[in-house]
Amino acid sequence: MNDKQPLDEWLKELMQQDDPQLRMTDKQARIVAAAAEIFASKGFAAASTSEIAQRAGVAEGTIFRHYRTKKDLLLSIVAPVMSRIVAPFVMRDFGRVFEDRYDSFDQFLRAVIDNRILFLKKNMSILKIFVQEVPFHPDLQEQFQKVVLKQVLARMTVIVDRFREDGMLIDLPSTTIIRLAVSTMIGYVIVRALYGEKEGADWDDEQERQATIDFIMRGLAVPSP
């Protein structure tokens, strides 16, 4: 495979799995790596199995011996990655954020943003695949909700509950506070990843990051007396 870009961290982990259900042959590994790169750069609909085969250095028929359809190939990347790689991989790294003690909610927000930016720098292709494909595939949405959102929501609720009980956040349900905060942060992260990092982009990252945190806090913090 003529891959000039380093593999994302999640893809390295997928390739190195000891689990027999996830273990791949060399050809499968090349196919998945090529498909992940092409799906990320062109989108699922525009990607062709012939291009994936060429990038992987295999015959197109080899793809269909392992995966019945192009959709099966997409699912073979996203479903196991989400359930067995991304969820534990995300939570292993993200868990450090939840374990720390924060004096204010805005400190927690900055820690979350800093952590996710570092994660996405190492795993950009899977972000692009998720952003481009999850909204159009209900089966992927269900996987994402079950294996990622459920864990993140549970951990964040504990922290938000504490700040609410301490009178530092307005009296809204914790799930509502999390939804408002996370949707704003995701907007910043996606725009930064897809636009802000491009050469020549008019983007002051520290300013945008602080503006995102300030915007959230203006809506959720209890006003000073």
Centroid of chain to Cα 92: 14
The Cα 93–Cα 158 span in angstroms is 18
Mean pLDDT computed over 190-194: 80
DSSP E strands in 20-174: the ranges are none
Each residue of 144-183: pLDDT tens digit?
A: 777 667 778 888 899 999 999 999 999 999 999 999 998 9
| pLDDT for the residue numbered 152 | 80
Determine the 3-state secondary structure of 104 from DSSP: coil
Mean of per-residue pLDDT scores for the chain:
79
The Cα 157–Cα 80 span in angstroms is 26
Residue 201 confidence class, pLDDT cut points 50, 70, 90: confident
Residue 32 confidence class, pLDDT cut points 50, 70, 90: confident
pLDDT at 4 over 50: no
Each residue of 93-127: pLDDT tens digit?
A: 666 788 888 999 999 999 988 888 877 777 676 66
Burial class (CB in 10 A: 0-12, 13-18, 19+), 98: middle
| pLDDT for the residue numbered 120 | 74
Residue appearing with tokens 């943003």: 113
Nearest of 122, 136, 121 to residue 75 by alpha carbon: 136
CA–CA–CA angle 27, 58, 68 (5° rounding): 75
pLDDT at 19 over 50: yes
What is the pTM assigned to this prediction?
Answer: 0.64
Range from 3-7, 129-133, 182-186, 216-220 carrying the lowest mean pLDDT: 3-7
pLDDT at 3 over 50: no
DSSP state of 221: B
Give the number of residues written for the chain: 225
Mean pLDDT computed over 42-61: 89
- Per the model's pLDDT, the better-predicted residue between 42 and 84 turns out to be 42
| pLDDT for the residue numbered 119 | 75
pLDDT at 47 over 90: no
